[in-house]
Structure 1
């Protein structure tokens, strides 16, 4: 991203934003300043959350601000961090506040307004419902001061059994390929909760509800599949599909020979 420094140094629109932090950032940007702000994949989360193993939440967490790689806010996705710093719609308010009270970014008590972060792996964090501008400012501020930890933030760590989710999708595909009268539905059950003031962890168990209708006998067979059982079911369907493909190929070969002899 190229920055028109002269314009930012002189134009009235940047008058309130020209704090020491802002000026240093546009004149000597860090090497990561043009890294893309990644998108939190809300569609994946909506589809896969039924396969969640645990959900950890705290309103008093700390994160390495340099491990924040993206955001759930569509307006700021796929833009460089420097672009957010120089053109974020609330930077004319937040930058002067940072200059006036930089200790806000170092305080350990919960942030007001709250700052939210989502993570699937505990390493890569995404800004959630609020906190995009302050996260961006913290990155540039801590880069200059040599700090890393942003305290008093709300963290949601979602541990999703992605392999089970992908297996579920593969089963759906096999069922469709074989034209089976089967419906599979993921069912998530809350096993327990651990919590005290300011944090909690919910633990879940997921199984697939397999509902198969027999049109000849007019009956329905239902069973619950855990991950290992679902793997076995997929193996059986894959074998069935392979045999079906072999039969199709044999028939094609037979009719091909018939037409050749005519």
Structure 2
């Protein structure tokens, strides 16, 4: 293993094709919006991921830089490159990382650095690019799967309810369906339902996503439904 300065100098001299890709920000506001619609979460303290599938970070100071800029200018990069020189096996071994490297993903394999591991992720990308490796082991990850249809229906319903005068209150409700875990990993599953409250008549119903979609149809297209009702009244009078 060459000295700590070697990796950075070589990357600057001959940048990988992805070196100028921008480190994406994790959208916390969007995650907060979809969080009530999570139907599965998977956590592991000893996961392996393709380090080139890491596309961004939760850290606002590091998002927006390119990977090469971060390797050159990261505020703790000199320290971490020195640690690479002292213990290159940290990046190559299978054991859980100490200190840990943390990642999260939502609905796909686009990973974002979570609590810690930004500088080490950048180092691993450049290091593995040189050596032909891809898999980084011993990581702590959390991966979420959301019910995107339920989210879309809820968004449409909230808009329709607001346009109709807000006579209904719609809330989400998650019920845990299953949990599986042993040492070092855990998977939990939930069911997403809705609570529909009629603010004029009172009373709350628990509805599925299909039922909510049907329920908001008159709110979304009131003129169409008024026409149908008028036709039914005329037909009944004949």
> With structure 2 as the length reference, what TM-score do the two structures score?
0.90
Gaps of 5+ in 2: 228-238
- TM-align CA RMSD: 1.6
Q: CA deviation at 1:243?
A: 5.2
Q: CA deviation at 1:174?
A: 0.4
> What is the CA deviation profile of residues 98-127 of structure 1, one whole-angstrom value per residue up to 9, with x for unaligned ones?
122211101111111111111113421100
1:44 aligned to 18, 25, 30, which one? 30
Q: Name the CA distance, whole Å, in 2 between partners of 1:229 and 1:52.
A: 19
Say whether residues 1:97 and 2:89 are aligned partners.
no
Q: CA deviation at 1:240?
A: 2.1
Say whether residues 1:207 and 2:159 are aligned partners.
no
Bigger Cα Rg = 1
Q: Name the CA distance, whole Å, in 2 between partners of 1:117 and 1:234.
A: 38
185-194 or 64-73, which deviates more: 185-194
> What is the CA deviation profile of residues 30-64 of structure 1, one whole-angstrom value per residue up to 9, with x for unaligned ones?
11001010111111111111111100000000000
Q: Name the CA distance, whole Å, in 2 between partners of 1:97 and 1:29.
A: 22
> What is the CA deviation profile of residues 160-203 of structure 1, one whole-angstrom value per residue up to 9, with x for unaligned ones?
11221121111011011110321111111111210000000010
1:82 aligned to 51, 59, 68, which one? 68
Moved over 6 A (4+): none
Q: CA deviation at 1:234?
A: 2.5
> With structure 1 as the length reference, what TM-score do the two structures score?
0.82
Gaps of 5+ in 1: 1-16, 246-262
Give the number of equivalent residue pairs.
225
Q: Name the CA distance, whole Å, in 2 between partners of 1:241 and 1:80.
A: 52
Aligned to 1:3: none
